[in-house]
Amino acid sequence: MLAELSPSAAGVPTTPVRRPLHVVINAGSGEHDAQHTQAVLEEVFRAAGHPAQFTRLGDPADLPEACERAAAQAADDGGVLVAAGGDGTINMAAAAALRHGCALGVIPQGTFNYLARDHGIPLDAEAAARALVRGRPQPVQVGLVNDQVFLVNASLGLYPQVLQDREAFKARLGRRRWVAALSGLATVFRWHRRLRLDIELDGVRTVLTTTTLFVGNNRLQVEQVGLEEEVAQRTGRGRLAGVVTRPAGAWTMLWLALRGALGRLGDADQVRTFSFHELQVRVLGARRVKVATDGEVRVMAPPLRFAAAAQRLQLMMPAPEDRVPRE
């Protein structure tokens, strides 16, 4: 019977799989020095015996093509596409990995790093690299709005405008969390638009007016803002989390933001939360609408279909001993 078992099943140590690593580094993510990051990764990957090819980019406009090329190479040689950057960079890499059918590794370099934090990936580049070479691919849920991938969240209304204004503030003041908070305050006080949405959920259509529609695919983020426990627990497990707010003035929106920071957003009377697998949204009176996906703003034509994708992303997960606490 033992002769039929694989070496690992029989308790015999196996040689680690040394997959080729195709690394794309976004030099514009966070406050990290891209050249130093590459040097650190090269040393870790070399010591672990993983051949690695690096593409370091300074212009975000070059990211889609670089990710496509690296994903195609990873699919050809059985390797891993590795993204070093923030949630937006990882989003582009994830979309390419899904199209080409290769695994994705993550070296978090952004401001919030929700994907990495949710899955216990270390935020330090060296630690993340060590976790990567000892990790194994595991399937994780992907969200879709029409044909656009999102791993963390997607939204329309106030939140995409907050993101656009945040980038302008960061260009002047630097990529820091307090800068993001300051820009958010400025946007809330300037924002006066209302969205008229025709929403179809579980076969029931509802027309409502709101300042923003937020869809979450990241359980850590959903938990931290304080959505209902049932909604949070189902997020990432075949379901997405939906949040709509009633029309409100700037001070009320700031109060809601404070409740979210304190983990109590779901208790607010001005907020409706729900869990879903698929959501159809028509934006009444609008032919085009800004939609944010993982921090990147795009213009889309309604109707919008939000759904948990049937295809799963193969994400390189740390071994238990390499995982850091979710926080």
pLDDT digits (tens, 9 = 90+) for 56-73: 988 888 999 999 999 999
Q: Are residues 301 and 153 in the same domain?
A: yes
Q: Is residue 11 part of a domain?
A: no
Per-residue confidence at 7, pLDDT binned at 50, 70, 90? very low
Q: Are residues 158 and 290 in the same domain?
A: yes
Q: Is residue 60 part of a domain?
A: yes
* 276-299: b (≥16 Cβ within 10 Å) or e: beebebbbeeeeebbbbbbbbbee
Cα atoms in the 13 Å half-sphere on the side-chain side of 151 = 28
CATH number at residue 38: 3.40.50.10330
Please give the pLDDT value at position 58: 80
Q: Is residue 129 part of a domain?
A: yes
> Does pLDDT of 171 surpass 90?
no
Nearest-10 crossing angle of helices 177-190, 250-261 = 150
Q: Are residues 112 and 213 in the same domain?
A: no
Distance of CA 244 to the CA centre of its chain: 20
CA distance between the termini of the chain:
45
Q: Are residues 79 and 160 in the same domain?
A: no
Q: Is residue 300 part of a domain?
A: yes
Average the pLDDT over each of 74-78, 219-223, 264-268, 316-320 and give the range with the smallest value.
264-268
Q: Which of 100, 134, 168 is the last residue of a domain?
A: 134
Q: Is residue 92 part of a domain?
A: yes
Query: In total, how many domains does the chain have?
Result: 2
**Cβ atoms within 10 A of the Cβ of 164, count?**
14
Q: Is residue 84 part of a domain?
A: yes
Q: Are residues 41 and 160 in the same domain?
A: no
Q: Which of 110, 134, 158 is the last residue of a domain?
A: 134
Q: Is residue 222 part of a domain?
A: yes
80, 316 contact by CB (below 8 A): yes
Q: Is residue 43 part of a domain?
A: yes
Q: Are residues 125 and 201 in the same domain?
A: no
Q: Are residues 303 and 184 in the same domain?
A: yes
As a whole number, the mean pLDDT across the chain is: 83
Q: Are residues 34 and 108 in the same domain?
A: yes
Please give the pLDDT value at position 157: 85
pLDDT digits (tens, 9 = 90+) for 114-135: 999 999 999 999 999 999 999 9
Per-residue confidence at 202, pLDDT binned at 50, 70, 90? confident
CATH number at residue 229: 2.60.200.40
Domain that holds residue 41: 19-134
Q: Are residues 130 and 52 in the same domain?
A: yes
Per-residue confidence at 18, pLDDT binned at 50, 70, 90? confident
Q: Are residues 80 and 173 in the same domain?
A: no
Q: Are residues 127 and 153 in the same domain?
A: no
85, 123 contact by CB (below 8 A): no
Which of 47, 23, 35, 37 is CA-nearest to residue 126? 37
Q: Are residues 176 and 121 in the same domain?
A: no
- Is the whole-model pTM more than 0.85? no
